[in-house]
Amino acid sequence: MGGINVFKIFTENKNPVRENLVHKPNTHRNGFRRSLFHHLRRLVSGNKIDGGSRTVEEDKVYSWLYTLAQSAKDLVFEYVRSTERGLSFTEAEKRLKENGPNIPFQHTYPSWWQLLWNAFLHPFNIILIVLSALSYIASDSPNGCIMLVLVFISVSLRFYQEYSSSKAAMKLSEFVRCPVKVQRCAGRVVQNELLVQVDQRDIVPGDIVIVEPGDLFPGDVRLLTSKQLVVNQSSLTGEFGTTEKTADIREDQSTPLLDLKNICFMGTSVISGGGTGLVVSAGSKTYMSTMFSNIGKQKPPDDFEKGIQKISYVLVVIMIIMSTFIVLVDYFTSNDLTKSILFGISIASALTPQMLPLIINTSLAKGALAMAKDQCIVKSLAAIRDMGSMDILCIDKTGTLTMNCAMMVNHFDSWGLPKEEVLHFGFLNAYFKTEQKYPLDDAILAYVYTNGYRFQPSKWTKIDEIPFDFARRRVSVILEREWTKKEKTRIVITKGALEEVLKACSFVEHVDTGEITTFSTEDQIRILNMEEELSNDGLRVIGVAMKRLDMQIGSRQAAYDNSVECDMIFLGLISFFDPPKDSAKQALWHLAEKGVKAKVLTGDSLSLAIRICKEVGIRTTHVVTGPELELLSHDSFHETVKRATVLARLTPTQKLRVVQSLQSVGEHVVGFLGDGVNDSLAIDAANVGISVDSGASIAKDLADIILLEKDLNVLVAGVERGRLTFANTMKYIKMSVVANIGSILSLLVATLLLKFEPLTPPQLLTQNFLYNVGQIAIPWDKMEEDYVKTPQKWSLKGLAIFIFWNGPVCSLFDISNLLFIWFYYGADFRERDPEFVRAAWFVEGLLMQTLIIHLIRTEKIPFIQEVASWPVICSTVVISAIGIAIPYTPIGSVMGFRSLPLSYYGFLVVLFAGYFTVGQIVKRIYILVYKTWL
């Protein structure tokens, strides 16, 4: 965070004071060299994300804010070129034109036609379109039309998904549409100060803003004055609670950025108190803008998408080589160039797994419908497939692992012993309190009622109430009880933050004698140590105190203020806990069984996170906090993230870096479950972003999956369906490529031997069409239980090896079929009966391609140890029957087939028995060598 970064933010508006502060000799030159080296290094490294370092934009913001936090107020005015009276209207308008509207970041989103064009420009779509055009040229309009329909489905689905996700960042406008009180100055001779209402979009650096309870800070603000100012920063930190801010302090570099007392950040809100502040950063230069600068940008393609692209390129090369070679071979045998070209086009079409887009999208849509029944909305279909590959699930603790409510645990006196009196007075305070009811009050009442205590609140009468505020952080009720007509007791009961309750106490009850003694320093240290121990166990603690009041003579009631909260008797502590969900431990255990490791990424305290993780079974041997991560080097950061299971007190950008580190360095497929604004960056960056229906709007918009119920068991089912979807997709890809390549190699050999085409172009396209229709049932196939127990990832190398092992098996039996026809039937293939050969090749080839799914879909012996689902069985039977029947129909006669003798079908039974036997042997050897199948 050197000075050069502070300077770079304001290159447009140079300031001599600022330049003297931050510049050193040759800084510009050295900065240029570092910048050049940085860009070269990024090019060499392949632009991999470095999760351990801040971006250049973040460094600029950090340096600027730290400089202002450490500077005196008069120097701060110099830095932003403002005055104690504020900006003039003319100067403010000028700056607004120079800097643009005050929105968190400026990002140009692609138009709808750009997204449509990007969806269209996919290698597989180009292949299908080219083949469709060639099919029309070859007078095969039905096949060309089918391929165009498949392209339309693929492009439409991708366009819809990308168009929806690109609009998510627009939700940030919710932060910038409200009026702000601003101090401006006006007058030509004498400058007069004026308070005006300005839309937040029109705020500029240098403006002086006045904030009150409920206001949002319109930019990053350096406080000028403050009065009991309490701010809610949960939108940035994710940690429940409030932060006190003060103008009368000068911070140092060791303070974490979000803990700076004199800096308030855009998007945070005022809870209580008020003050004035100088806007030092607005628009895209705020801390919030660095958080959301990546939203709306396209994610890099995952391994599956990259694998599909590479397959497309390989298929193009194979099609060009094979089609060209077969065209040349056919031409030299037939001397008919037009006929040979049409045959080559048919070969290219047969090589393409034309149903791949439909198979993938049907599998994903089927999974989405199944997850919808489990109260889960799938916005991005590809996320289902990614869930099957997910091996790490990052979880935001609150509301996900826990019930997001307070449950009372225990009540202690000042010596740490359970005491009913503490609960009694705490209950009376919660019972009679009427203003600003909090979950802790409900927890106390529920504890008393469910445990059978009889405190008889009806015998007490409420006289007055001193409500809670964030300056005192306690609440008091004044109660009166009538013992007899002449004897009454009036007391004040106070409960709240322990430190604040202790400030109001002067006495404490002795543990042994029960006498009221003076509250000593030793008592305070003992009580604070007790609180620390409870906090380390993940419990939230409040204090309870009381004192008797003098009765007002001649009047039953009197008005009280907070001056009554003094010289009180400290009674004890009440502890609370946000309990884990009953389903969380079971769900995490099931995820671990399936190879998905859980990591907790939370903005809450480390002690609370550890307590929850122990309750739900997450290991806590390796834990770390956000401030500790900030101090680590790049390598240490990645190593720590890899080992840690609990990461607490994380800022939103730190959550993002953790996810990116796991993805880029650990090469994991990461899911992130969160529901707050502070989780949005991590949700957007994760391979599978998950939010809940009650989450923040932007979190839901960026998520791929939205849970209607905060139940991790839904994710367990989603992982299983993701792996089933992945498996069925891989079945089709491997089976289709193996069958198609094997078939084309067989056609090449047959063409060389027969000196004529084993199938005419219409016959080959009809065979290919029937085979493709038969594969529509694959998304409804089932999968072996062992397969869904481990994460599944795409491997192009594994696919190539799979084809190398299994492709020749198909070709071997295709050639065996050819040799059987040649030698058994003794036909003179060069001069007579090509219709018989083509009919036999058509039937055998179609049966081979239809039955291969049963061999590939399982590691076990097909039809004996494992049977496919009934839709796949029905599809196999129907397509096989159609293929066998065609040569006997008028359609077969038109296509150039003739009927086949029954003896040939007897041979096919033997042929396919041999194929399944040899295929199963090859399968077992392959599994022994590579320890996997699909």
**Running DSSP on this structure, what letter comes out for residue 923?**
H
Residue 437 near residue 445, CB atoms below 8 Å: no
Q: 701: which 2 tokens?
A: 């918009």
Question: Where do runs of H (alpha helix) occur along 354-433?
Answer: 356-373, 382-389, 420-432
For residue 513, how many C-alpha atoms fall within 13 Å in the half-sphere facing its CB?
A: 5
φ, ψ for residue 246, nearest 5 deg: -145, 145
With H, G, I as helix, E, B as strand and everything else as coil, classify residue 785.
helix
Residue 885 near residue 899, CB atoms below 8 Å: no
Q: Which residue in 50, 220, 396, 413 is the catalytic one?
A: 396
Residue 343 near residue 134, CB atoms below 8 Å: no
Distance CA 207, CA 180 (A): 11
Distance CA 298, CA 308 (A): 18
Residue 216 near residue 178, CB atoms below 8 Å: yes
Buried b (16+ CB within 10 A) or exposed e, 524-555: beebeebbeebbeebbbbbbbbbbebeeeeee
Cβ-based neighbours of 659, under 8 Å, separated by 6 or more: 51, 394, 670, 672, 682, 685, 686
φ, ψ for residue 460, nearest 5 deg: -110, 150
Compute the chain's Rg from CA coordinates: 37
**Running DSSP on this structure, what letter comes out for residue 308?**
H
φ, ψ for residue 392, nearest 5 deg: -135, 130
Amino acid identity of residue 178, one-letter, is C
φ, ψ for residue 139, nearest 5 deg: 65, 30
Residue 680 near residue 691, CB atoms below 8 Å: no
φ, ψ for residue 768, nearest 5 deg: -65, -40
Helix, strand, coil: what percent of the chain each, to 5? 55, 15, 30
Residue 666 near residue 52, CB atoms below 8 Å: no
Distance CA 726, CA 594 (A): 15
Cβ-based neighbours of 240, under 8 Å, separated by 6 or more: 234, 398, 604
User: 184, 205, 202, 201: which is closest to 193 by C-alpha?
Assistant: 184
The helices-and-strands tally (H runs, E runs) of the chain is 33, 24
Residue 176 near residue 104, CB atoms below 8 Å: yes
In the chain the first and final C-alpha atoms are separated, in Å, by 50
φ, ψ for residue 655, nearest 5 deg: -60, -40
396 given a catalytic annotation? yes
In Å, how far from its chain's centre is CA 11? 36
Q: Which residues are catalytic?
A: 396
